[in-house]
Structure 1
Amino acid sequence: MTITFSYPREFDTLSLDPPHFRSSLLAWDADGTRIACARTDKSIKVAKFDHIRQKFDDPVVITAAHESPVAVLIWECSRNARLTAISTDCTLKVWEIKTKAHKLVRSLKLANTAPKLAKYSPDGRYLAIADKEANLILLDSSTLQLSTAISIKMSSQIGDMDWDADSETLICGLTDGSLQLYRVQNNNNLHAIELIQSLHLSDSPIVSIKYIADRNQILAAGLDGQLLVVDVQLLICTKSLYNLDDAPVCIDILAPAVAISYQNNNVRIFDMDGGEEVHEVKNSKGDNALAKFHPQFREILAYIDGSGKATVMVAKKRTGPARALPRPVSSRGRGSGLSASSGPSRTIRSDRFERPNAKRPKY
């Protein structure tokens, strides 16, 4: 097996906030032109990101965005200027972000208890919300009316969820180690959802999943450190990748690169095809472990560092002749199967995620 893409060796870090601010959540918009962070003081900051100049512009701060801490922060897929935040008191708010300004366009109180996750479908039609009590609620995002919402009591808590590319199937990874696929239907504005497939993947809770559109695969991370690749059409596990350093918290993918955030270790980036670690993000260990690739460039990674600062890692600028920018990844950005680097490749001993031979300090 060989490394299937090249990765920079040196990076600069850009801080989204002054040192005294602390963040708990990060979210890129659909094309990576804006990044939002939820701060521990219940405010939200949004800034435009210029990947060419490698700087932030036109910051917008929503002070006292909620009365309770923000538990979920996501952008609408179909309308790039709409930011949705859900607080621990179950209040959902939708903000329209303008240049140096913001406007609250929707606010409602959810019936869920302790919201944990939320995900818009790729076409922007649906919003799925899960809480810590194993409840799932599906809303029509055009109206966000609770009267037409669909509620389901799951057999186990949802560790993570994602949508397929056609916005017809909601994929849920459960804490009982199973993967469940739900078909969502809309007939004359009458919504329905039904369980169509269930696959037991592990005896360990599933903590994070990602649907890889161009490969029609699901990548699922278990609390025991396994990373499982599932063929969606056959609904079978085609590969199990072990030897992850610690229990994962979340994964993000811009195929074939996978960023893994751990409970007690730095964020690390792996090649999911070659199976080798390509980069370790220094000072990214902390209680709020979280790393998110830019939607178009794997060389740009947003994360919350060990002190709680919202940080963006960018490839270090080189002096001398101008370099061509990396080719953007497809809009869904989670499985474009880019061609191998023209540089030399390295051979590894197996197709598993294994640590380099050099000893690393124990964290």
Structure 2
Amino acid sequence: MTITFSYPREFDTLSLDPPHFRSSLLAWDADGTRIACARTDRSIKVAKLDPVRQKFDDSVVITAAHESPVAVLIWDSRVNARLTAISTDFTLKVWEIKTKAHKLVRSLKLPNSAPALAKYSPDGRYLAIADKEATLILLDSSALQLNTAISVKMSAQIGGIDWDADSKTLVCGLANGSLQLYRVQNTNGLHAIELIQSLHLSDSPVVSIKYIADRNQIIAAALDGQLLVVDAQLLICTKSLYNLDDAPVCIDILAPAVAISYQNNNVRIFDMDGEEEVHEVKNSKGDGALARFHPQSREILAYIDSSGKATVMVAKKRTGPARAPPRPVSSRGRGSGPSGSSGSSRTSRSDRFERPGAKRPKY
């Protein structure tokens, strides 16, 4: 297979913070106008990205946002200026982000459990929160009240959650290697949730999942390095990609590009259709491995670098005369010149399925 989309070979990196700040979480808003980062000093910074000028504007800092570190950071999918942070002190706070200002609009004390994941439904109606004790809490986001919340005890710890496009089905990936689909119903203001389907995917824990609306697929990353593609309608696994030896931490997808963050290696970007690696994000190895595509451009990627800084990677600006086009490459990936040397095209890569620790050509 060959690469199915073009990808830049050179990037500029923009640091969101001065060197002495460290970040643990990153989140883009729905249209990619703003990016938020949760810092290890319990503060939250939000800034607007200008990708043309390659700079950040209108920075907002919420100092001492919580009494304990922030464990979850997400934007409301319905109200673009609303940022939700959930702390290890079990407190959920909703902030309204304005130009160079912020306002706390809601604060809620959650049950005594360590929050790990959260996801708004696409229509913004529901907020699903998973803790480290295998408990799922479903809240009506318009009220955010515990007396109307639904609590479900799972059979294993929850490694990933996502919603389908209609906001009616919640998908959960579990540590027992299974994928479970729950139907959410609202009848006369009464909410209900029921398990409708379950699929055993792997003998290894599922650590991250993503639902791809335009393909009606669920992508699940397992701790053993497999990336599994599931038909969401038939609920069958159609293929397994990137059988790598390193353990992933999380994935992010802007189809057909998928960014995989690893425990012990740099973030790598793959073409899930061509089944080839297209880029390795240098200096992205660390305990807080995390990468997030800009919602509208796979050529803009936010990640936490090895020093803990919030960093945004953008395609390098081109100046001067246009470069000569690359030489054509044959189906074997060899250059067309008399010596048969490798061409500059990405299709010449032959290291598909190579484990991250192996030696690869420089880009």
The TM-score with structure 2 as length reference comes to 0.90
Ranges in structure 1 where 5+ consecutive residues have no aligned partner: 323-342
Partner SS for 1:299: strand
Distance 2:209 2:99 in 1: 33
Partner of 1:311: 311
Deviations 1:116-160 (A, max 9, x none): 000000000000001000110000000001000000111111001
* Residues 1:349 and 1:313: Cα distance change in structure 2 (over 3 Å): closer
* Residues 1:83 and 1:321: Cα distance change in structure 2 (over 3 Å): farther
Distance 2:62 2:353 in 1: 41
> RMSD between aligned alpha carbons?
2.0
Distance 1:308 1:207 in 2: 21
Partner of 1:88: 88
Partner of 2:138: 138
Residue identity opposite 1:93 in structure 2: K
Distance 1:245 1:14 in 2: 31
Percent identity, aligned pairs only, is 87
1:53 CA displacement: 1.5
Partner of 2:109: 109
Q: Is the 8 A contact 1:3 1:347 kept in 2?
A: no
Partner of 1:295: 295
Partner of 2:44: 44
Partner of 2:164: 164
Partner of 1:239: 239
Partner of 2:59: 59
1:243 CA displacement: 2.9
Partner SS for 2:298: coil
Partner of 2:347: 346
Distance 1:268 1:345 in 2: 15
Higher Cα Rg, which structure: 2
**Residue 263 in 1 paired to residue 258 in 2?**
no
Q: Is the 8 A contact 1:245 1:265 kept in 2?
A: no
Partner of 2:198: 198
Q: Is the 8 A contact 2:129 2:138 kept in 1?
A: yes
* Residues 1:321 and 1:100: Cα distance change in structure 2 (over 3 Å): farther
Q: Is the 8 A contact 1:112 1:135 kept in 2?
A: no
1:112 CA displacement: 4.4
Q: Aligned residue pairs: how many?
A: 341
Deviations 1:206-264 (A, max 9, x none): 00000010000000000000000000111000001143241000000000000000000
The TM-score with structure 1 as length reference comes to 0.90
Partner SS for 2:122: coil
Partner of 1:335: none
Distance 1:220 1:118 in 2: 17
Partner SS for 1:38: strand
1:50 CA displacement: 1.1
Residue identity opposite 1:105 in structure 2: V
1:349 CA displacement: 6.9
Residue identity opposite 1:346 in structure 2: T
Partner SS for 1:300: strand
Q: Is the 8 A contact 1:277 1:354 kept in 2?
A: no
* Residues 1:112 and 1:118: Cα distance change in structure 2 (over 3 Å): farther
Partner SS for 2:214: helix
**Residue 207 in 1 paired to residue 207 in 2?**
yes
Partner of 1:124: 124
Ranges in structure 2 where 5+ consecutive residues have no aligned partner: 323-343
Partner of 2:14: 14
Partner of 2:337: none
Partner of 1:339: none
Partner of 1:97: 97
Distance 1:69 1:25 in 2: 10
Name the stretch that deviates more: 48-57 or 149-158.
Answer: 48-57
Distance 2:350 2:239 in 1: 16
